[in-house]
Amino acid sequence: MPRRRLRDLSIVQITPNSEETNSEQQTAIGSSNVPNTPDEPVEFQTESGGTHRGRGRALLKDLYELDPIERVKVCRKSFGQPVGSEARLLAGFLGIIARNANMFPINYDSWHQMSNSNKNQALNNIKARFALEVSDNYVKKALGKRWRDHKSTLKNEYFKTKTTLEEKL
């Protein structure tokens, strides 16, 4: 199955006059190049003894290779929800941003306790790659859901509930 390429998506070019933020604000943590992640495709053992390769995490390398003046245009429905293949790309990118521990640490109990500076920094990273017709509140809400999902995945993977007191000692 061929990889989904950005050439099938609607990409718009932003002129320097129409940018809303400075270039210093757009170079936030993790936005300058492809994220360095230890997640590689995983091999699983099948019942017959063979191995099966898993998919691994989404990296979206093509999105990071866009020119700084190009952005992927995300259209919306009448209720403000993103639609189309661009919306799938946005959802994948939101997952990458939400897994960034420098931007969204997991030591907060809830998304509402997260500082607004972290949320706005992530929103600037997203706007550096996407031309959004979707409201900022919708994007922040979707980021919060991805962050909670990531936090839950980490807890399920590393937190052991059935450890007795004797095993801990």
Domain ranges of the chain: 6-35+42-157
3-state DSSP assignment of residue 71: strand
Residue 104 pLDDT: 94
Contacting residues for 53 by C-beta, under 8 A, at least 6 apart:
41, 42, 43, 44
Residue 12 pLDDT: 81
Residue 168 pLDDT: 73
Residue from 7, 8, 9 nearest 131 by CA: 9
Alpha-carbon span 88 to 64, nearest angstrom: 16
pLDDT over threshold 80, residue 6 = no
* Average pLDDT of every residue of the chain: 78
Contacting residues for 166 by C-beta, under 8 A, at least 6 apart:
none
Report pLDDT digits (tens) over 26-52. 323 333 344 444 455 566 677 777 777
CB 97, CB 30: distance < 8 Å: yes
Q: Please compute, for residue 154, the number of CA atoms within 13 A of its CA located in the half-sphere on the CB side.
A: 13
CB 56, CB 40: distance < 8 Å: yes
Report pLDDT digits (tens) over 101-150. 999 999 999 999 999 999 999 999 999 999 988 899 999 999 999 999 99
